[in-house]
Structure formats: structure tokens, C-alpha cells
Structure 1
Amino acid sequence: MKPRFGRTELLEPQVRALRAAVKIEWFTLVFLAVAITMVYLVMGNSQAMKAAWIEDLLSLAPPIAFLVAVRIVNRPPTAKYPYGLHRAVGVAHLVSGVALFAMGVFLVVDSATGLISAEHPPIGSIVLFGEPVWLGWVMMIVMALTIPLPIYFGRVKMRLARELHDKVLYADADMNKADWMTAAGSIVGVAGIGLGLWWADAAAALFIAVSILRDGIKNMRAAITDLIDTAATTFDDGKTHPVIIQVNDYLRKLPWADEVGSRVRDQGHVFHIESFIVPKYGRTPTLSQLADAREGCLEVDWKVHDIVLVPIEQLPEEVNGSTRSRPTERHR
């Protein structure tokens, strides 16, 4: 069998999930274009509305980054890019995180300044159908209309992020949560102005800004740690990814393997694995056995993009999931 570095094809369930993700990201961009225009037309002098508008602008970054990344991630490895281009997902994740962090810092400073200086934002009236209407009512109606779809988008993207192991999609789902929370916060801020609570608008803007900053820090930290090859985690960075255990368990069952340990790089959607194997005493594997074991590992999970098997005398301390089959075997 001709050796191969990695794989470019996805299994049918992941192909369907990727198509669904691309489709919902395009729907998200259309929705955001409409929402950004509507909020801009009615935001007036409200700090909360301004923060909500900027947050909507920032929401464009994750879907655009995702759509760009999926265009190139499945290109096959080349001499120039021997590991393929799957890390484009990590780069897109970092871009989204940095944008969120930078704007979160700006909005926290801007909102806190308005609150400390006790600014009283005026909200005037407009004429609708020949009758004067307080602009605050229009603001609250517009923001209420922007709540339902982000809730739906976020739930769908969270499910697809889990299926695809896509952290950009997860960041976007997190952003959708921030979208509807921002809309709710801006409604509270505008209502507070209507009730004579001048500080409610600035407080709501500060709440929105802190939410954006928190999302930025979380996603930027996750993207940076992935790019510097921290141990592979689940799509939500909640725990070490179980595929490491699955690969180690498969290798441990080989008749010639004694101790097994692996280190795993998160390449984006997929993993690059280096597995270290201490052979049983007198059972040094042949090239054919190593090639068969490698192919078997590639079938353990679709995320096992590429794997290198290294027979070794003693496991390095840093490898993940060190295991041994029948400890006495090696010392006979």
C-alpha cells in the first residue's frame, strides 16, 4: 500500500455537517447585514445601542473567517505545506478572538467613561404616520426583532461545531449568544432612559462591553494555545479529547506492543498524532506491522488526519495517556 500523509476526504456525516455549516453561516451574514442596517438607523445617542451596533459588526468576523477557512483546509499536503492547511481554522479562530478582544477593551473604556462622567444621552422623537413617537420605542422594537434568530443560529452551530470539531464555529455560536444578550441588554438600557434612569444606558453598554471582552479573551486564549500545540482538547476546550485514549487503546492491543503513549496536535478540524510504542521483549515490529498499525489508527476516528508510530525503548514523560499491556511481559 502506498504511504500517504494525512487525508483530505471527510466521511459522509461530516460532509453533510460541513454543508449545513456553510449554509447557516451565509444565512447569518444576511441576517447581520439587515440587523446592522436597522440598528444603525435607529441607534441615536444611546451608548447601549452603539455598543450593540458595534457588537453586530464584530459578529461578521467569525462567519467570514469560517467560510474562508473551509475553502482551503482540505487541500492536500505539499512539499511547501507538508502538514496540509488545516491550521487555517486555528488562524481564523485567532483573528476572531483578537477582533473581539480589541473591540471589547475599547467599549469597556468608552462605556465606563460615559458612566463616570454622568452623561445623559438624549433620545428624541420621530414622526410616524403623522404622529410623534418616542424613538426609544422604535429602538426596543428593532432590538427585540434581532433576538430570535441568533438563539436559533447559536443552537444549530453548537451542534455542528461538535460534529466537525470546529472551534471557529463554536466561537461563532458563542457570539450568537452574545448577540441576543446584547439585544436584551440594550432594550433594558433604553427603557431605563425612558424611566428617567440616565445611568441605565451606560450600565447596559458596559455590560455588553464586558461580555464582548470576555468572549474575546476566551477565544483568543484558546486559539493561541492550539497554535502553540497544547494537548488536543474537545471543540469547547472543556477536556482532553477522547481520541487520544482511543488511539492508545488500539495500539495497546497490538500483539507486539507493551507500553504506549501519544502526543496530539490539533490542526483545526483534525489531529496530527505521534504515538510512541515500547515493543514487548523480543517482539520488535516489522515495517509491515507498523504500516498496518498506522492504517488501523487512521480508521479509529475521522479526526485522525495523520499519525507517526515511533518504536522506542522507553516512553518520554511528556506523552499523553501512557498505558501498558501486561507489565510483566516486557521483562521476561
Structure 2
Amino acid sequence: MTVRRFGRTELTPELQQALRRATRLEWITLGMLAVTVTLVIVVMGSSQAMKAAWIEDMLSFIPPLAFLVAARVINRPPTRSRPYGNHSAAGVGHLVASVALLVMGAYLIIDSGSGLVSAEHPPIGTFHLFGHTVWQGWFMIAVMIVSIPGPVILGRMKIKIAEQLHDKVLYADADMNKADWQTGVATAVGVAGVGLGLWWFDAAAAIFVGASILKDGITNVVTAITDLADARARTIDGEDPHPLVAKAEDYARSVDWVLDAGARVRDEGHVFHTEMFVVPRDGAAQTPSRLRELTEGIVDLDWKLEDVVVALVEELPAEVHGGVERDKQSEGGQVAR
């Protein structure tokens, strides 16, 4: 067995630039949210949709803050008490951001649904501006429309960087940005509906926003819990096994002295902890240099494959994939243990 030093990722210049860009985007997001929250408070009144928008904006602070904190914690080197380093901080941040989405969506549906059932008519007052009486709804609609472009642009930029860095906190924040602009559109429509005499438009808009956010929250919470529970590494959206798992296994099998190989890979945040189990060919010499070459070859496949352990075994554990021979055994009902 050979172990490569791990616990702190050395990012390439390109990835370091991506991380700095993501950090700037999160600070911009916090500044934008501060302005939006202030404007919404000023014009909110008694509108359910505006109240939903305000709550959504307040909870929107959580994902970017979680990302900024996780980014600092991850940079700490491994210690004897934390030999795996602090990559899991990204997973914790992802869970925090996901729970914020889930709670917000559920709250909006329950709160607005109760208002709709009880037939609450949201009163929207007036402003006296330069000697003229102006309907407050116009200010609400204007604030919502102004708040839409920022989340649309920031969300699309974050998605690309999240995939590049394999950062699920940033990915969840991009989902929150999507919820932000959807909230703006739905709230503007809801307030306009009230102005046209359709009182139920306000609550209906808030429920629509809540349902969309709840869906994203459930998806992200499931993915975050799955990762923290040491499930097999998956893509950033949590839908498929990560292709690097198969890539690492194929590489190990391509080595001339390896008969079969299978990997047990878990997501540590930005990087993967990879345990590669290798069945050597009969008569093949397994020297420390060969094991080191195999380990470094796996690491060189992708920057995310940083935490790599290679273990020699007589037969592959049942928990890993294995090659063609193992697949045939599984089909016949025999599983290597």
C-alpha cells in the first residue's frame, strides 16, 4: 500500500483564478442583497408576495456567506487531529445553504397558503410624492423589476464556476439566485394582479415562488446529505455517478501488472478521497516504486483526485466496481468478498 500526501489541494493557476472570481461574485451578491432588502422593506406594506420576497432575500445571504467561510476553512492544512484536511467544510456549507432553500420554500407555501385559504385581501396603500398621491404598488413593482437582472447574471456566472471547481455550495447559491429572480417576477405579477382587483394573485404568486424554491431545496438537501454520508462520488447536480470514478478504474486496469481494479470514491468537498483496490497479475512484482507510479498516475488524471490510496488485494471487495470478470461473477450471483 502507498499513500500520497493529501489534505490540502494545490490548485492550478486557472482554478485559482476561478476561485478568486467566485469569491468576488459572492461579495457582489452580498452587496446587491443588502440594497435589495433595504428597498423591499421600504415599500413592502402588507403584501404577502412582498413579504415572501423579503424573507427570500434575507435567506439568500446564507449561501454566499457559507461559501466564503468554507473557502477560508478549506485552506487550512491537515493536522494530526484532522488528517483528511478540511475539505468537508464545503459539504457542510452545501448542507447549510440547502436547508436555507428548503426552509424558505416550505415557509412561503404555508404562510401564503393560509392567507389564500382565509381569503385575506392584502391592503396596498398610497404614497404622497411631490404633492401627488401615488399607488404604493407601483413602487413595489419597480423594486422587483430592478432586482431581477442581478440574480440572472450572477447565477449563470456562478453555475459555470461551480462546475469548474466542483463546488456544491456555489451551485446551491446559483439555485438561490434563480429563486431570487423568479421571486422578483412572481411578486411583480402578484402586486399587479392586486391592482387589477384580483386579490388572490398576491398569495398565489408567493405560493408559486415557494414551490419552486422548495423543489430546489429538497434536491440540494438530498445531495448534501448523500455526500456527507460518504456515498459514492457523484456529479455536481447529484444525479449521476461522477465520471472520474470510472476513469480512475480504467487507468488502473490499463497498467500492465494489474489484473483488475476497483475504486471506492467519496466526495470530500472539492476533492475526492479515492481508495483504489488492485488485484495484481500472477507473478507480477509489486514494488514500492510501482505502487507510487500507479498512485501518481491516478492523481495526474484530474486535480480532484488528490486523496489517493492504492491497496493490493487478492480479490476485489463487494463495494467496488471491478472489471469484466467481476461483472460476470455478479451476474451469476457470486460476489467477491
TM over 0.5, shorter chain? yes
Runs of 4+ with >6 A deviation:
none
Judged with a 3 Å threshold, the aligned counterparts in structure 2 of structure 1 residues 186 and 245 are, in CA distance, closer, same or farther, namely same
- Find the aligned partners of 1:323 and 1:67 in 2 and give their Cα distance: 44
- The residue type paired with residue 214 of structure 2 is L
* C-alpha distance 321-139 of structure 1, shift in aligned 2 (>3 A): farther
* 8 Å Cα contact 1:66-1:168 kept in structure 2: yes
Partner residue in 1 for 2:76:
75
Contact kept, 8 Å, 1:262 with 1:322, in 2: the verdict is no
Secondary structure of the residue aligned to 1:304 is coil
Measured after TM superposition, the shift of residue 128 of structure 1 is: 1.6
**Per-residue Cα deviation, 1:29-65 (whole angstroms, up to 9, x for no partner):** 0000000110111011000010011001111110000
Are 1:258 and 1:324, in contact at CA under 8 Å, matched by a contact in 2?
no
- Identify if the C-alpha distance between structure 1 residues 195 and 2 changes in structure 2 by more than 3 Å, giving closer, same or farther: closer
Q: Could you tell me which residue of structure 1 aligns to residue 252 of structure 2?
A: 251
C-alpha distance in 1 between matches for 2:244 and 2:101: 31
Three-state SS of the structure 1 residue aligned to 2:120 is coil
Residue type at the aligned position of 2:41: Y
Report 1:136-151 matches (<5 A): 136-151=137-152
Q: Which residue matches 1:330?
A: none
Query: Equivalent residue of 2:206, what SS?
Result: helix
Contact 1:261–1:321 under 8 Å retained in 2? yes
Q: Which residue of 1 aligns with 2:273?
A: 272
- Partner Cα distance (2:36, 2:90) in 1: 27
C-alpha distance in 2 between matches for 1:31 and 1:182: 15
Distance (Å, rounded) in 2 between the aligned partners of 1:310 and 1:150: 47
- 1:218 is displaced (CA, Å) by 1.4
SS of residue in 2 equivalent to 1:310: strand
What CA deviation, in whole Å up to 9, does each residue of 1:77-128 have, x standing for no partner? 1111011100000001111112222232222111110000000011011012
Distance 1:2 1:265, change over 3 A: closer
- Aligned twin of 2:331: none
Give the whole-Å Cα distance in 2 for the aligned partners of 1:101 and 1:164.
24
Report the Cα distance in structure 1 between the residues aligned to 2:275 and 2:251, rounded to whole angstroms: 14
Q: Which amino acid aligns with 1:25?
A: E
Structure 2 residue 294 is the aligned partner of structure 1 residue 293: yes
- Asked if residue 308 in structure 1 is aligned to residue 312 in structure 2, the reply is no
The offset of 1:321, in angstroms, is 5.7
2:101 counterpart SS class:
helix
Supply the AA of the counterpart residue of 2:127.
Answer: I
| AA of the residue aligned to 1:311 | L
AA matched with 1:55: E
User: What SS class does the counterpart of residue 251 from structure 1 fall into?
Assistant: helix
Residue 216 of structure 1 corresponds to which residue in structure 2? 217
Task: Tell me the percent identity.
Answer: 56
Q: TM-score, normalised by structure 1?
A: 0.94
Q: For the residues of structure 2 that align with 1:206 and 1:155, how far apart are their CA atoms? A: 25
Q: Is the 8 A contact 1:8 1:75 kept in 2?
A: no
Instruction: Show CA shifts across 1:263-321 (max 9, x none).
Output: 11100011000011111111141122111211121111000121111111111222146
After TM superposition, the score normalised by the length of structure 2 is 0.93
- Give the direction of change, closer, same or farther, for the CA distance of 1:23–1:324 in structure 2 (3 Å limit): farther
Q: How does 1:48-127 map to 2 (within 5 A)?
A: 48-127=49-128
Matched pairs, number? 326
- The equivalent residue for 2:230 is 229
Distance in 1 (CA, whole Å) between partners of 2:214 and 2:282 is 55
Structure 2: 5+ residue stretches without partners? 329-337
Per-residue Cα deviation, 1:234-269 (whole angstroms, up to 9, x for no partner) = 112232111112211221111110111101110001
- Give me the whole-angstrom Cα distance separating, in 2, the residues matched to 1:2 and 1:208: 49
RMSD across aligned positions (CA): 1.7
